[in-house]
Amino acid sequence: MGLPAVLGVNFHLTPGYTVIGIVLGGVYALAAVGLVLIYRVSGVLNFAHGAVAMFATFTAYEVSTVKGAPGWIGAIVAIAVGAALGFAIEYFTIRPLHGRPALVKVVVTIGWLLVLQTAAGLIWGATAYHQPVRLVSRDGFRLVGTDVTVGYDQLTTVIVALIFALAVAALLRYTTLGNAMRAVADNPDTARLWGISVNRVTAASWMVGSAMAAVAGVLITPLIAFDTFSLTVVVIYAFTAALIGRLSSLPMTVVGGFLLGLAQTYPRMFSSLSGTADAVTFALVLLTLGVLFRPGGRKVRVV
Amino acid sequence: MSARARRVGLLVVAVIAIAWPAILSDYSRSLATDGLISGLIVLSLVLLTGFVGQISFCQYSFAAVGAFTVGSLVAAHHWSFWLAMPLGVFGAAVVGALVGIPALRLSGLFLTILTVAVALFFDRFILASGTWDAFSGGLSSFVVGRPSFLGVHLDTSYRFYLFVLGTFSLCSLGVWNFRRGKTGRVLRAIRDAEVAASTLGINLTAWKLAAFATSAALAGLAGALLAVSIGSVSTGGYDLVHSLGVAAVATVMGVNSVASAAAGGLFLVFGPEILRHLGVSSQWFNLITGALLIVQLIVTPDGMVTDFQHKLGHLLRHRAARKAPVPATELDVRDDVPVRTGVRS
Amino acid sequence: MGSSSVRERIAIVFMTLSVVATLVLGGALAAQLGHPRQQVVQVGEASATSSGGGVSAGDASAAAPTDTGSATAAGAPGDAASSAGQAASGGTGGTGSPTAAGSSTGTAAGAGGTAAGSGTAAGAGRSAAGRTTATTRAPSGPAAAAGKAPAPGAPGAVGDKGPDSPDEGVTGDFITVGGIFDETGPVDATVERDVVRSYFNQVNAAGGVKGRKLRLLDCDSAFDPSRAHQCSQRLLSQKIMGMVGWTSPSGEEPETKFLTSQGVPVIGGLSVPAQFQSPLAFPTMASLELHGTAMGHHAKDLGVEAPGVIIVNVNFIAPLKDAMLKALQQEGIKPVDIEQVDITKADYSDIIVKMRAAGAKSILAGLDPFSYARMFQAMERQNFKVPTLGFGLDKKSANDAYGSFIDGAESLIPFKEAFDPGSANDPDVQEYFGAVQRYFPNQAKSLDVYTEAQWVAAKVFVEGLKRIPGAITRQSLVAALNTLKDFKPGLIPSVTYTPGNHDPNHCFNWIHNVKGAWKTYATNKCF
């Protein structure tokens, strides 16, 4: 099959596909929010973000599905585990690398990715089918004007993503901790001069970011496959979403997520190939990097 | 390390590498062969990181270019391996240069994202069925037989192992020579001081692109050899996950020393094997690699092999110095300058 | 930030330990590799992997009736040999792969324990919570082995044992075969492995074949074709007689070619094209191409109109797709849309919406079980209830994830549908379920069409062994298998092999799902 099988113009799919794309984008946005917070404050691209989310979600699974506790208790456990993991990663393995280039810290998170994924596989089984923790019902409602049904769980993902983004934006702007985070993000040495405990602020950002990852994991897993590697793949797309949002602000990240979701969904209107979403994602990445780093343009601050 | 010690060491290693597999089983030889092929990919990372200071997470995509070129040309069009392989290597180099173009402007972290995107793009789009079936084989795999080298058919595991060993050694030697040579040292120096480099009149762009192209070419060569080693080429073995794994091991071993190529490759292959012999699930291998990666970056930041070489070197130098003071003749450029890429530390 | 001298010291210690460890392990490995010893492993090794979970309750090495007993556990107590391990080394990317690191299979705690096995070691051996390595089996009582033989299959003739051929996996105590399975990764084939082991355990409990016990060495290919190749080589080095009941979607096609070129017979498998192209390959399931043809023609019977076709992007589905499209064309049915998906595709809403918009009134699908789950979930969410025909839909554990839209779905199977409540009294089905329940109860609900194929493969293999008149070798096995005519292993009407390429299974049963249960409503549809 060398050419897409359906080259017909399917524009009438547009409204439905827009909805689907936004829902998908909500998943990416939710996954990206914590990631961007961590990146902005500590300068580290946390490759293990998805793995942390996955591991936390598995603990929710253990508590709720295996041991029978109600779903929301599982979610709380997941948040705690996520925050603890975030703290552990920052305190034990990022902080000792102070002064080293950012790339080294990124590679450390890759190490964590391997550790967490394998550990989850060993504890809970790498391929067994796991029933995901469902916090929200799968019933849905049909959107007027399209023929697409949106589930409440899907809608929740989008709403929570928006809430998180706004909450973090508010945190950064209006609270002391937030101000401290922004100061650290701008210039840690200056921040230190102002009496801000850079270590504590950084640790806080990791904890909050990872807690958000845990929430993302619990909400997203019913929508995708619940296993040890799917969330990591989602997070890589979340990077891209963050990139499209120019890594600059949380609301922009959410917008970037939606854009990516749409960009991955629309091509299906014209093509039946399985890889079109990735081709578009790649093109978007190139485009974004090109725009961000265009010669003569204002170089984006790395933080 | 002194030149003499190094030569003795190399000789010992060479003898072991040639003689020992002769008495091992077929299976062990094939493992060793695959280890060396993985080592080639680690070598490609040593080259890239050593010169450009960037870590790439898409080396297996370049390997895929080499492997699928060989696969499609040999299996479907009945070319000779010796024609298909150089074409594959060249193709990989071209792709590497293409990836290098945006890399010229990107700093470390963003280049990382780019290489991840390349890896995903390659595996999930280019190699997916329907996109370019003539190249990727679509839903079936290409079957490739062993070639003959100078009249000797490489079908036995020992012969093929020796061939791969020879190839690997040549490439290692080439990379090492280049690093030691004047151009190499200069390039390493400019890695950290690009302004100085441009005042020296070095065409940075050309060198960086060349580094990407050569690194990709090495990976492409590894891919071509892999095609022949396994005997078939199918999608599924060249994805992001493999690239991440090899980058992790390369970092653990140390991207600044050529010896880590062999060490890394063998580690990748024999690590799980050793675990199996100990009766431990070989899933633990990933865990161990991840943990090693973390620990190593904190404790021995230059990589285990590089650090080891240095310590050994110091040891030998001290002993030598005590025997007779020898004026330092070789300009000993430190090759463990940390990779400094982003602004943020 | 610790003081740098402390860090220096830690670094030196760390490196020294690494070097020492490497040397020691390397030396040990070297000794091993130079002379791969015949691993003496107890039958029914535990598996430490995933879902199958459960420790295999291998039957204890029952005192073989003729054997001078327990030369099995023979070995030294220290003989904890792994073996049953898999090679997942994959020089190419052994690491990195998050899921794919080969899992292991446990070591069989060699433990000296001799003899005194009991036929029901099953109960004894089972330990709680899977994932540990083999337990030592409770040596319960005297060799009551014979007493509990459940298998109707007769044990090997006591007297006529025949000579050994250790290079081909036949020793005084064991006949060893191998299997490559995608045990970790997106696909979980541990159930196929355990089904073969169930049958072997059953046969061993009844005394084995020709005075020897059967054992299956498995290797995890982790959905990576290069690992699959490593597995082939590893299994070869472990001296196997052939492959029985293997299931490795990632690498079965090229490895079939490789193994048969090495003279190794291959029995069972996924019915990839290569298995119909070699006289050494003995498939037990209809070819995938035939499945496609059957689906296309069955669509006509079902009155399928305007189908949307969804196919997963894995390398052995290709012949199915082309054959199905051709059959549809012959029947005058034109698909409104043909979509291809990746095995990791998470949400099928876009496909379903597109199908609906294209006017699809039915769905024809060729996916793996968990992709089906996501497809049905999307169908349910979008309320797109149309007749659905899919190949390989009857995996019970996945059915739980399909939701309510599985009701009414159609499928086809070239075997007797074991989950059909109407088959409950069929003795062959009872034997099949019984063995799995006894030895690997955790796998009982993961059975599907592929496991039936491998069960038949195991049976066919044992029958072939029994028919060998003299020395057991690969050649004599192949010759014996070629004498199978109208052999009835159960689950399939009959199997006939003749010299040359083999293609024994051409007929299907149509099944459909009625409120969660699969029912057969037509049999013997042959193509």
Q: Taken in order A83, A86, A89, A94, is the CA torsion positive or negative?
A: negative
Q: What is the CATH number of the domain that holds B310?
A: 1.10.3470
Nearest CA in chain C to A24: C347
Q: How far is CA C40 from the centre of its chain?
A: 23
Residues in chain A: 303
Is B128 in contact with A275 (Cβ distance < 8 A)? yes
If you write DSSP's letter for every residue of C429-463 in order, what string do you get?
Answer: HHHHHHHHHHH-GGGGGG--HHHHHHHHHHHHHHH
**DSSP readout, A22-62?**
HHHHHHHHHHHHHHHHHHHHH----TTHHHHHHHHHHHHHI
Q: 3-class SS at A224?
A: coil
Q: Which of B147-161, B326-340, C83-97, C155-169 has the lowest mean pLDDT?
A: C83-97
For chain C, give the percent of residues with pLDDT over 90.
Answer: 36
Q: How many CB atoms lie within 10 A of CB B185?
A: 15
Q: Which of B214, B215, B234, B211 is nearest to B67 (CA)?
A: B234
Fold of C121-286+427-506: Rossmann fold (3.40.50)
C367 close to C187: Cβ distance less than 8 angstroms: no
Return the number of other C-beta atoms located less than 10 Å from residue C16's C-beta: 12
Looking at residue B103, its pLDDT comes to 79
C119, pLDDT greater than 70: no
Output the pLDDT for position B326.
44
Q: Could you tell me if C412 and C523 are in contact, meaning their C-beta atoms sit under 8 angstroms apart? A: no
**Confidence band for A295, pLDDT divided at 50, 70 and 90:** low
Chain A CA closest to residue B340: A101
Is a pLDDT exceeding 60 seen at residue B288? yes
Q: What is the pLDDT of residue C293?
A: 93
Q: Do A6 and C338 touch (CB under 8 A)?
A: yes
Q: How is chain C split into domains, by residue range?
A: 121-286+427-506, 288-413
| Min Cα separation B201/chain C (Å) | 39
pLDDT above 70 (res A7): no
Residue with the two structure tokens 């456990």: A77
User: Does C132 contact chain A (CB < 8 Å)?
Assistant: no
Task: Flag whether residue C277 sits within 8 Å of chain B, measured between CB atoms.
Answer: no
pLDDT at A235 over 80: yes
Give the distance between the most distant pair of CA atoms in chain A: 64
Contacts of A225 in chain C (CB under 8 A): 344, 346, 370, 374
Q: Which of B124, B230, B282 sits opposite C101 (nearest CB)?
A: B282
Round to whole Å and give the CA distance between C509 and B101: 58
- Kindly determine whether residue B277 and residue C251, on different chains, have CB atoms separated by under 8 Å: no
Residues C143-160: what's their mean pLDDT? 42
- Beta bridge mates, C341: C312
Predicted local distance difference test score (pLDDT) of residue C205: 94
**Chain mean position to CA B116:** 17
Comparison of pLDDT for C59 and C448, the residue scoring more: C448
ipTM of the complex: 0.85
Q: Taking a contact as any Cβ pair under 8 Å apart, which residues of chain A between 206 and 235 contact chain C?
A: 223-225, 227-230, 232-234
Q: Which domain holds residue B88?
A: 3-323
CA separation for the pair A19, C350 (Å, rounded): 10
Q: Which of C338, C349, C401 is closest, CB to CB, to A20?
A: C349
Tell me whether residues A111 and B120 touch, CB distance under 8 A: no
Question: Residue B234: its chain C contacts at CB < 8 A?
Answer: 225, 250-251, 253-254, 315
Tell me, what's the pLDDT at B26?
84
Q: What is the pLDDT of residue B257?
A: 80
Q: So what CATH class is C288-413?
A: alpha beta
CA distance to partner chain A, nearest, from residue C459 (Å): 27
A50-54, A220-224, B92-96, C170-174: the lowest-pLDDT one: A220-224
User: Residue C23: what pLDDT?
Assistant: 66
Give every CB contact of residue B182 below 8 A, 6+ residues apart in sequence. Answer: none
Using a 10 angstrom Cβ sphere, with 0-12 exposed, 13-18 middle and 19 or more buried, the burial of residue C277 is middle
What was the pLDDT predicted at C160? 64
CB proximity under 8 Å: A 130-169 to C: 131, 138, 140, 142, 147-149, 151
> Is the per-residue pLDDT at C98 higher than 60?
no
Which amino acid, residue A134? R
Whether the pLDDT of residue C124 is over 60: the answer is no
* Predicted confidence (pLDDT) at residue C87 exceeds the cutoff of 80: no
Kindly determine whether residue C347 and residue A24, on different chains, have CB atoms separated by under 8 Å. Answer: yes
Q: pLDDT digit string (tens) for C364-408?
A: 999 888 789 889 989 988 889 999 999 888 887 778 788 888 899
Dihedral (Cα; A36, A27, A264, B113), 10-degree rounding: 30
Structure tokens at A286: 């190139």
- Using CB atoms, list chains with 3+ pairs below 8 Å to chain C: A, B
Q: For chain C, give me the number of helices (H) and strands (E)?
A: 13, 12
Partners of C410 in beta bridges: C389, C512
Candidates C491, C465, C458, C495; CA nearest to C480 is C465
Q: CB–CB of A285 and B113 under 8 A?
A: yes
Please tell me whether residue A234 adopts helix, strand or coil conformation.
Answer: helix
Number of C-beta neighbours around residue B313 at 10 A = 15
Same fold yes or no, C121-286+427-506 and C288-413 = yes
Taking the C-alpha atoms of residue C354 and residue A15, their distance in angstroms, rounded to an integer, is: 12
Cα dihedral across residues B99, B101, B102, B106: positive or negative = positive
Confidence bin at C79 (pLDDT 50/70/90): very low
C271: left (phi over 0), alpha (psi -120 to 50) or beta: left
Instruction: Compute the nearest-CA separation of C30 from chain B (Å).
Output: 8
Asked if residue C383 lies in contact with residue C404, where contact means CB atoms within 8 angstroms, the answer is: no
**What order of strands is seen across the sheet that includes strand C388-391?**
C337-341, C307-312, C362-366, C388-391, C410-413, C507-514, C517-526
Confidence (pLDDT) at B320: 62
CB pairs below 8 Å between A and C: how many? 122
Pairwise CB contact (< 8 Å): C100 & B241: yes
Residue where the block lists tokens 């052994």: C94
> A275 and C188 in contact by Cβ < 8 A?
no
pLDDT level of residue B333 (50, 70, 90 thresholds): very low
Could you tell me what percent of chain B has a pLDDT over 70? 86
Instruction: Yes or no: say if C57 and B254 are a contact pair by the CB < 8 Å rule.
Output: no
**In the 8-state DSSP scheme, what is residue A269?**
G
Higher pLDDT, B63 or C399: B63
Q: Report the percent of chain A where pLDDT is more than 90.
A: 23
Chains touching B (at least 3 CB pairs under 8 A) are A, C
Which residues from B are below 8 Å from C92, CB to CB?
34, 37-38, 60, 226, 237, 242, 268
**Mean pLDDT for the stretch of residues A90-99:** 89
b/e sequence A196-210, b meaning 16+ C-beta within 10 Å:
bebeebbbbbbbbbb
pLDDT for position B169: 93
Q: Which two tokens stand for residue B96?
A: 């590497």
- How many domains, chain B? 1
**Predicted confidence (pLDDT) at residue C94 exceeds the cutoff of 80:** no
Quote the distance between the C-alpha of residue C285 and its chain's center: 13
Task: Write the CA distances from B96 to A240, B46, B83, B217, B285, integer angstroms.
Answer: 22, 15, 20, 7, 30
Q: How far apart are CA C448 and CA C426, in angstroms?
A: 17
**Among B56, B12, B32, B338, which Cα is nearest to B213's?**
B56
- Top pLDDT among C158 and A290 is at A290
Please count the other Cβ atoms lying within 10 Å of the Cβ belonging to residue C271: 26
Nearest to B222 by CA among B276, B252, B261: B261
pLDDT for residue B194: 62
Buried b (16+ CB within 10 A) or exposed e, A63-92: bbbeeeeebeebbebbbebbbbbbbbbbee
Whole-number pLDDT of residue B95: 95
Cα Rg of chain B, angstroms: 20
Alpha-carbon distance values, B266 to B33, B39, B122, B263, C30 (Å): 9, 7, 26, 5, 13
Inter-residue contact A74 to A60 (CB < 8 Å): yes
Give C16's contacts (C-beta < 8 A, 6+ positions apart).
Answer: none
Residue contact C381–A149, C-beta within 8 A: yes
Percent share of chain C, pLDDT over 70: 70
Which has the minimum average pLDDT: A173-182, B129-138, C410-419? B129-138
C195 or B191: which leads in pLDDT: C195
Instruction: Collapse the DSSP code of B140 into the 3-class scheme (helix H, G, I; strand E, B; otherwise coil) and give the result.
Output: coil
Q: Are strands C174-181 and C213-220 parallel, antiparallel or unpaired?
A: parallel
Q: Is the dihedral of CA B33, B34, B37, B39 positive or negative?
A: negative
Judge contact between C41 and C113, C-beta under 8 A. no
Task: Over range C432-447, report the average pLDDT.
Answer: 90
Residues 6+ apart with CB under 8 A from C483: C467, C497
Q: Which amino acid is at A110?
A: I
Asked if pLDDT for residue A254 goes beyond 70, the answer is yes
Residue from B298, B267, B286 nearest A104 by CA:
B298
DSSP state of C157: P
More confident of the two residues C135 and B48 = B48
**Predicted local distance difference test score (pLDDT) of residue A168:** 87
Asked if A121 contacts B286 with a C-beta cutoff of 8 angstroms, the reply is no
